[in-house]
Amino acid sequence: MNVRDKEFTSRTGGGPGGAADRGERNLAPATVSPHAAPSPGPAAGVSRPHESARAQVAGSATYVDDIPEVKGTLHAAPILSTVAHGRLIGVDAGPARAMPGVRGVVLARDIPGDPKLATFVHDEPIFALDKVEHVGQVVGIVIADTVMQARRAARQVQLQIEPLPAVLSPREAHARQSYVLAPVTVRRGAPEAALAASAHRLEGQLEVGGQEHFYLEGQVAYALPLEQDQWRIHSSTQHPGEVQHWVAHALGLENNAVTVECRRMGGGFGGKETQAGHMAVWAALAARKYRRPVKLRLDRDDDFMITGKRHPFAYDYSVGFDGTGLVTALRLTMLANCGFSADLSGPVADRAIFHTDNAYFLSDVEIVSYRCKTNTQSHTAFRGFGGPQGVIVIETILGDVARRLGMDALDVRLRNLYGLEERNVTHYQMKVEDNILHPLITQLERTSDYRRRREAIAAWNARSPVIKRGIAITPVKFGISFTATFFNQAGALVHVYTDGSVQVNHGGTEMGQGLNTKVAQLVAHELGVPFERVRSTSADTSKVPNASATAASSGTDLNGRAAQYAARNIRDNLAAFVSGLDACGAGAVSFARGQVISPKATRTFDEVVKAAYANRIQLWSDGFYRTPKIHYDKLTLTGRPFFYFSYGAACSEVAIDTLTGESRLLKVDILHDVGTPINPAIDIGQIEGGFIQGVGWLTTEQLVWNDRGYLATHAPSTYKIPATGDIPEHFKIELWHEPNPEDNVFGSKAVGEPPFMLAISVWEAIREAVAAATDGTAVRLEAPATAENVWRALLPESIDTGARES
């Protein structure tokens, strides 16, 4: 724990003007608190149960679809395009209107405000206008008395569409120069000359698929019209402020007419950062037209067909290296499949550029990023936000380099790590100041027994003709902050009530990750009260305005610090009050274990609060935080976009069946850097969940669009997320022992996204097993490494088309 967060001492002074000096009522020492005995130990820095755990287990936690419906509530269902690209000639809703319970349809002509969503690029229509651009694009919605009536009727709406040629892959889009945004290039040094002078060179391609978010709670919104053209929107969203803005924009209103609330989500993973706004806008438009509350909840199939995924990427690379495996030059082309509109593709592709280095110094490098427009769903944020697509390509390249030289891939990775005094500036000109990569990786190498296991695996593979094994250690260095600098701000409100109980509200949203739990711990820690006395409330745009999305792993960093500052203001007010009573300096007053302690007396927090109220001392406060030090030029992608880096490493062992291509994850050892943990149990849970979600991305979760642009994998029957049987029995997680060297809340580090990329160790271990089966120095494997893709990689023609020496 950092010294700055240990003491509950005030920053304000006492002296003349205090309560005692004014002759106001004095305060007797504490006796017995009317509340239950506080739980032992500190409020923060220890494992606490998730604040909603009991309610979730009991089924009493309220999600949007659980909110009791207002009398007269109608239900909406989307009308979907069945064509990937075409001119929208007409919409015949007659058959739908004739069905029982149907009230009507809402189309683009019913929008009172802007017919396009209020996105930064302003390129996505609310409903299809004169054309459709992917199978599943929403043309309008059907409104009915029940959800099933609406869904059945939506399927009876007849669309007249004149088909046009569709672009379905990023390589095809690149060939046609079809982009949603202009290309971006980042260069350092002289990569062409360095490549020509390199002792060894490889060229290769890589294809990496997308990923469905598969949140347990699907997309849902509930729009309620209020008096005087005001609106209340219940939305399952990571960004209530953006939903507020989008709804107001579509209705032709100012933001202050719309209030958006989100108590919790049943998962988000980035899929509810922007795209939850669509549901809210559609529901609000219907509620306006029919002057009734309207709920829109997508079923799972429609959710798949409508919403964007993790961006699929394609890569072309040329890499130069010396005989020790040191990379001397890299030229990389990234083709991001963005879908039919920009959404968040710009910053996603930017972050992929930022994380192409991962943990490694690249001296002479050129990265060209193309943001390709295809006739698929508009791809969006997903845990890691482009970082995984950057990290996987450099790890794949280093694995190829190691096999070309006949070296252990870990030694090649260690050879290329960032240094401490030199080789410590990224390709985007940010200095790596808190580098713990080498000690962290070498510690994991020892604790996982990597070298001995690698020898044992080589012996196994020599005598096993069918089952081959592989092992790999890969690190992660992940930058923490929104790359859009202005999002790195947060606000919070803390209220202390006269009975000593505390309520905190902040701009972040709870999606199961434990944000509200950590924020409550921080507030309790600051006020010196038991954790149980603090209650977190719903994210609400009428309480904290203009809040940023809960994303970029920054939810606790931003909102936790803002809440800490708000609580500190109240603590300072109370300290000043007590210092006046006891004729001491406010800095001598401390808060701990539900007590307020001065040199003259020890009182309960509750008694101090009651007396402070009686003396008209403010017992509520706001807090505001903006991330320091960050800046960068968004045109050149240079500067300091991140406040700090989170680090980690994973050692994964796998086995593959060379006859079927099936793979199994056998063992996982993880060492991850979370700084000083606010709640170790929650952090470990995030590491477990992030890693397994990453395993799904790289092994089983395959998105397949057919040649008509139809997503064939649109349900659990065809799209396979990891299940309990995919978790290895040996799954060991340890936390790095040092606090965050930057002045972050509680000395902690972000934990939501970085562990996801540790699953790339599984990808590299599978490629090692494929190489062992083929004696190949180059492995041509597409991600995800499904049984089919692994089997294909074992074929002789796949070996020949892997990374090639040039």
The full 3-state SS of 602-663, as one line of letters, equals: EEEHHHHHHHHHHCCCCCEEEEEEECCCCEEECCCCEEECCCEEEEEEEEEEEEEECCCCCE
3-state secondary structure 404-467: HHCCCHHHHHHHHECCCCCCCECCCCCECCCCCHHHHHHHHHHHCCHHHHHHHHHHHHHHCCCE
Catalytic residue among 124, 753, 764, 782: 753
Listing DSSP states for 50-78 in one string gives: -TTHHHHHHT----GGGSPPPTT-EEEEE
Kindly state the DSSP code that residue 385 receives in the 8-state scheme: T
CA trace torsion 375, 376, 378, 381 (10° rounding): -140
DSSP 3-state of 12: coil
The two structure tokens encoding residue 357? 């280095």
Torsion of CA 615, 532, 538, 496, to 10 degrees: 0
**Secondary structure in 3-state letters for 745-771:** HHHECCCCCHHHHHHHHHHHHHHHHHH
CB 450 within 8 A of CB 649: no
Quick one: DSSP state of residue 255?
G
Using alpha carbons, select from 250, 243, 297 the residue that is nearest to residue 274. Answer: 243
Long-range CB contacts (within 8 A, 24+) of 28-35: 28/607, 29/601, 29/602, 29/603, 30/595, 30/601, 30/602, 30/603, 30/604, 30/607, 31/604, 33/594, 33/604, 33/606, 34/499, 34/606, 35/500, 35/533, 35/594, 35/606
Q: What is the length of the chain? A: 806
Instruction: List, in order, residues 6 or more apart from 338 with CB less than 8 Å away.
Output: 180, 181, 311, 345, 349, 371, 372, 373, 374, 378, 379
- In sequence order, what are the beta bridge partners of 431? 425
Phi, psi (degrees; rounded to nearest 5) at 400 = -65, -40
**Structure tokens belonging to residue 270:** 């980035």
From 748, 750, 745, select the one nearest 563 (Cα to Cα): 745
Rounded CA gap, 699 and 705, in Å?
18
CB hemisphere CA count around 581 (13 angstroms): 25
| E-only strand ranges, 198-240 | 200-208, 220-225, 231-235
Question: Which DSSP letter does residue 35 get?
Answer: S
What are residue 468's DSSP bridge partners?
Answer: 656
Helix and strand numbers (H, E) in the chain are 21, 30
753 counts as catalytic: yes
> 94's torsion region: left (phi>0), alpha (psi -120 to 50) or beta?
alpha
Instruction: Give the residues across from 77 on adjacent strands.
Output: 142
**Strand-pair partners of 620:** 495
Short-list 411, 426, 417, CA closest to 473: 411
Going by C-alpha positions, the residue among 548, 544, 555, 536 that lies closest to residue 491 is 544
Enumerate residues 6+ apart whose C-beta is below 8 A from 40.
none
From the list 734, 783, 764, the residue with the least C-alpha distance to 412 is 764
Interatomic CA distance for residues 277 and 181, integer angstroms: 22
Catalytic residues: 753
